[in-house]
Amino acid sequence: MLRYLIVLLDDTSTSFCHYTASNKEPNLISLDILRKAIRWAMTENLTIQFVYPSHELLDEWNETIETIDHVKIKPATAASTSDADVVVFEGLEAIDMPLSKRDVSIVIRTRMSDFLDKHDRLHKLLAQANRLNVVFTDVDSFADDDQKAYDEALASLSLVVKNEYVNNHPVQFNLLTDRIMLTEMNNCGAGDSTITLAPDGQFYVCPAFYYDADGYPVGNIEGRLDIPNKQLYRLQYAPICRRCDAYQCHRCIWLNRKTTLEVNTPSHEQCVVAHIERNASRRLLEAIRQEGEFMSGTEIEEIDYLDPFEIARP
């Protein structure tokens, strides 16, 4: 069931996920399309997430946005982030910027190699933030040779997270704590629970499908939403994912299509990364419990594979 509408306010709106926002020229959504988007979201009872560019919007756009409850996703480079719900940083270099609000969600987009080299830069942020999401911009190039280094990086960050929990600061960190908190799959829901409207007035399964040269629209705000084979975007139609328990996995529809040409079939790399996180979460849960009672009733089973496709094969 559709629950969220993502509205890209400009072609240069920040990416907050795996994709790169490749259109470099500013192209603001028209007021007419913005108003229609808000009306449509009200009619369909959807929560809107507005995705901002770095440059400021004109007053009329800001006033229109404020006519509906919403979430603001802003780049850290925006003129003002004090009203943002989510602030996106590009790379691990930029995160020394002061946080104006502790309760804001932080997203850091980084290459895997940078994360492996510089993950200790997250220590301070883990102590300050309430919610930190690290998103890899090159998951598809994750090599089997990177597995040990990723496992060790997460083990190192687990020590920091454990100390925060023991000291009554239960920071949420997507790579390590989401799997502990979740009891079922919680993926991005592109094309199922979430749809995106771009400045061109067209709907896309997610923002990546707008920026990618191979992307395609699925209807427009003047007409209607029309997703071909829409069942394929649902978890029930992903035969491996629906039986998987790496609940924190993004199960990125765009990466699926890019790497396997099927929206409901993930790549080996996406599964391995998600399972290394799952297993690190299991060890973190055990480590926190050594200090006292925590999440009683929650168990993460020990497994001996990193790619569910390997055990699914006959």
Are 105 and 133 spatial neighbours (Cβ–Cβ below 8 Å)? yes
**Of 166, 225, 240, 287, the one binding ligand SF4 by CB under 6 A:** 240
- Assess 249 for contact with ligand SF4 (CB under 6 A): yes
Total residue length of the chain = 314
Closest contact distance (angstroms) between CB of 238 and ligand SF4 is 6
- Binders in 168-227 for ligand SF4, by CB under 6 A: none
Smallest CA-to-CA distance from 198 within 72, 27, 39 is with 27
Q: How many residues bind ligand SF4 (CB under 6 A)?
A: 12
- Assess 251 for contact with ligand SF4 (CB under 6 A): yes
- Mark the segment that binds ligand SF4 (CB under 6 A) among 88-96, 111-119, 150-158, 243-251: 243-251
Q: How far apart are CA 214 and CA 48, in angstroms?
A: 26
Residue closer to ligand SF4 (CB basis): 207 or 308: 308
- Assess 74 for contact with ligand SF4 (CB under 6 A): no
- Assess 270 for contact with ligand SF4 (CB under 6 A): yes
Residue closer to ligand SF4 (CB basis): 71 or 235: 235
Are 76 and 87 spatial neighbours (Cβ–Cβ below 8 Å)? yes
**Residue 312 amino acid letter:** A
Residue closer to ligand SF4 (CB basis): 38 or 244: 244
- Assess 18 for contact with ligand SF4 (CB under 6 A): no
Question: What is the three-class DSSP state of 36?
Answer: helix
Closest contact distance (angstroms) between CB of 308 and ligand SF4 is 5
Closest contact distance (angstroms) between CB of 49 and ligand SF4 is 22
Are 212 and 23 spatial neighbours (Cβ–Cβ below 8 Å)? no
Are 25 and 10 spatial neighbours (Cβ–Cβ below 8 Å)? no
Smallest CA-to-CA distance from 277 within 257, 297, 247, 252 is with 247
Closest contact distance (angstroms) between CB of 140 and ligand SF4 is 12
- Assess 266 for contact with ligand SF4 (CB under 6 A): yes
Smallest CA-to-CA distance from 245 within 285, 310, 176, 185 is with 185
Can you name the residues that pair with 136 across neighbouring β-strands?
110
Residue closer to ligand SF4 (CB basis): 81 or 270: 270
Q: Locate 123 and state its tokens.
A: 């220590």
Q: Taken in order 22, 263, 176, 172, is the CA torsion positive or negative?
A: positive
- Mark the segment that binds ligand SF4 (CB under 6 A) among 72-80, 217-225, 236-244, 289-297: 236-244
Q: How far apart are CA 6 and CA 205, in angstroms?
A: 10
Q: How far apart are CA 1 and CA 280, in angstroms?
A: 32
- Assess 95 for contact with ligand SF4 (CB under 6 A): no
Closest contact distance (angstroms) between CB of 246 and ligand SF4 is 4
Residue closer to ligand SF4 (CB basis): 135 or 271: 271
Strand 47-51 to strand 131-136: parallel, antiparallel, or no bridges (unpaired)?
unpaired
The footprint of ligand SF4 (CB under 6 A) covers 240-241, 244, 246, 249, 251, 266, 270-271, 274-275, 308
